[in-house]
Copies of this chain bind each other. A is one copy, B any other.
Amino acid sequence: MCSYAKVPKFKPGLISLNSKEGQLIFEQTTYKNSFWQLIPYFITQKNLSFCGPASIAMTLNALKLDPPALTEENLNNYKMFDQDNIFNIKVNKIIKKNKIKKSGMTLNEMFEVLNTFNLKNKIYYGSDINEKQFIEIIIQAILKNKIVIINYCRKYIRNTTSCGHFSPVGAYNAHKKMFLILDVSRYKYQPTWIPQQKLFTAISKGVDSESKKSRGFIISYKE
């Protein structure tokens, strides 16, 4: 699930994308296909527990799946995935909106939801791999225009007591050894470069209170 704390502070070692340094790192980054795929669909999670659905909607749009009609106001002549219309019949059999509103979703629930769409998905638990494997898997994914949703415990990265969170990975810089996370809790956090070691700790240490497993990530791509 996606946890939250009220007063976020910037921790040393993190670099906001919207800073001279953050932009320079972006320019010198090889692995950034994901950024271009995702940024036209960058959204804010619509409530405190919807980091998962927001990340799913961005991913499905970025991968150019055939979207359903929008439901908001008079936009129903247009199609795009959003945090409401992803809950179709198949998804509702796996998890209901209200359950996510109450307690978020686990990495495995997200995996099952993504599997109902016309996608290939691979799930990885941080505790099953080492940091080197983590990097190599994500580099290969970005190079092949796959999308990575990362599920991490935020307290290893930010000055916060909150833990579980989902957001898509925007890019990876191999020289700086940093990930760009397109954080869907945009009311709190800007897109930010995060040191790989911190991010690996945040997916491999600690355990989801519901699933009793470590966090991890999912790689999604079109068949």
Which residues of A58-102 have CB atoms within 8 Å of chain B's CB atoms? 70, 72-75, 77-80
Does chain B have a CB within 8 A of A222?
no
A39 to B38, CA, bound (A): 11
A27 to B187, CA, bound (A): 28
Q: How far is the CB of A72 from chain B (nearest CB, A)?
A: 6
A48 to B70, CA, bound (A): 12
How many copies make up the complex?
2
What is the 8 Å Cβ interface bit string for chain A, positions 142-158, against chain B (1 contact, 0 not)? 00000000000000000
Q: How far is the CB of A52 from chain B (nearest CB, A)?
A: 15
What is the 8 Å Cβ interface bit string for chain A, positions 106-142, against chain B (1 contact, 0 not)? 0000000000000000000000000000000000000
Does chain B have a CB within 8 A of A23?
yes
- Tell me how many residues of A have a C-beta within 8 Å of chain B: 31
B23 close to A48 (CB less than 8 A): no
A188 close to B46 (CB less than 8 A): no
Which residue in B42, B80, B188 is a CB contact (below 8 Å) of A78? Answer: B188
- Identify the interface centre among A46, A77, A187, A188: most chain B CB within 10 Å of its CB: A187
A172 to B186, CA, bound (A): 26
Q: List 26 A-B contacts (CB under 8 A).
A: A17-B36, A18-B36, A18-B37, A22-B36, A23-B36, A39-B39, A39-B191, A40-B42, A40-B186, A40-B190, A40-B191, A42-B42, A43-B43, A44-B80, A46-B73, A46-B75, A47-B72, A47-B73, A47-B74, A48-B74, A70-B187, A78-B187, A78-B188, A79-B187, A80-B186, A80-B187
Extra contacts, 19 of them, besides A22-B36, A47-B74, A79-B187 (Cβ < 8 A), are: A17-B39, A18-B36, A18-B39, A27-B27, A39-B191, A40-B191, A41-B186, A42-B42, A43-B43, A46-B73, A46-B75, A47-B72, A47-B73, A47-B75, A48-B75, A70-B187, A75-B187, A80-B186, A80-B187
Question: Considering the complex of A and B, which 3 residue pairs feature the smallest CB-CB distances, nearest first?
Answer: A47-B73, A78-B187, A80-B187
